Amino acid sequence: MKFSRLYLTFIFFVLYMPIFYLIYYSFNSGGTMHHFESFTLDWYKEVFADTRLLIIVLHTMIIALLSSSLATIIGVFGAITIYYAKHRWKQTLLTLNNVLIVSPDVIIGASFLILFTIAGIQLGFTSVLLSHIAFSIPIVVLMVLPKLQEMSPTLIDAARDLGANEWNILTKVILPYITPGIFAGFFMALTYSLDDFAVTFFVTGNGFSTLSVEIYSRARQGISLSVNALSTLLFLFTLVLVVVYYVITQRASAKGGQK
């Protein structure tokens, strides 16, 4: 038990140390990541004073919210379709869904680029939005499907015995039961969309950019602690999303326990 805790602590240290290192030097007045001179917020002021960067942040938020919302709607009905499919088709659909999860982002991005080029879709907002919806749907399906499998078939049978039609069963029984899974899928899709770089790098163009692509392009130009400040803000925003998701799931669990 003691060894497992030490090992887990070491793993978290390795994962989070680079992030904390980056955050630490975002407050450095020296302009380098080698020697900390004094505390300053100038790099954060530089980020908020950059109008182009604020527009890119707005683009990123719009893409993330739209793609995660649409992917959640499609993913919920996709999960329900897989749940009610026959065993042979269920395994096929699950396999096709999982292929998109395990496929390298570079392959997915290149595939979307070829598809949009053939279809004549101009690279920019539309191509990025469609790509984010596409790779978010399998995530939502994997979050929602376990909640459907937990649901007892007797709930649906009881609803039918009480005279409920298919629409009532969907809206009054199934959707309320799988709500925690829906929220989980939405927040996971939102986080993936905010953090995605590889797929977005392939399908963006015509002056449209997202935060992850902008951070990459700025980092290539040379070391600037404004990149640290920008990355810190993105990390904190993602952390807030995780906390919100945790609070929602805890409240849902508490309500389920009371019932």
Domain boundaries, the chain: 54-222
pLDDT at 259 over 70: no
Contacts of residue 138, defined as CB under 8 A and 6 or more positions apart, other chains included, come to 75, 97, 98, 100, 101
pLDDT in the model for residue 252: 66
User: If we measure between CA atoms, which residue out of 14, 17, 51, 203 comes closest to residue 117?
Assistant: 203
The DSSP symbol for 249 reads H
pLDDT in the model for residue 243: 84
Three-state secondary structure call for residue 104: coil
User: If we measure between CA atoms, which residue out of 225, 213, 192 comes closest to residue 42?
Assistant: 225
The Cα 134–Cα 107 span in angstroms is 14
pLDDT in the model for residue 239: 85
pLDDT digits (tens, 9 = 90+) for 102-140: 888 889 999 999 999 999 989 999 999 999 999 999 999
Provide the CATH topology of domain 54-222: MetI-like fold (1.10.3720)
Burial 136-164 (b: 16+ CB within 10 A, else e): bbbbbbbbbbebbeeeeeeebeebeeeeb
pLDDT digits (tens, 9 = 90+) for 76-85: 999 999 988 8
199 touches 135 (CB < 8 A) = yes
The angle subtended at Cα 179 by Cα 178 and Cα 181, nearest 5°, is 70
The angle subtended at Cα 77 by Cα 66 and Cα 142, nearest 5°, is 80
Phi, psi of 226 (to 5 degrees): -65, -30
Reduced to 3 DSSP states, what percent helix, strand and coil does the chain have, rounded to the nearest 5?
80, 0, 15
pLDDT in the model for residue 113: 92
pLDDT at 58 over 80: yes
The alpha carbon of 11 is separated from its chain's Cα centroid by a whole number of angstroms, namely 23
Q: Is the sign of the CA dihedral 173, 179, 185, 186 positive or negative?
A: positive
Task: State pTM to two decimals.
Answer: 0.81
pLDDT in the model for residue 92: 86
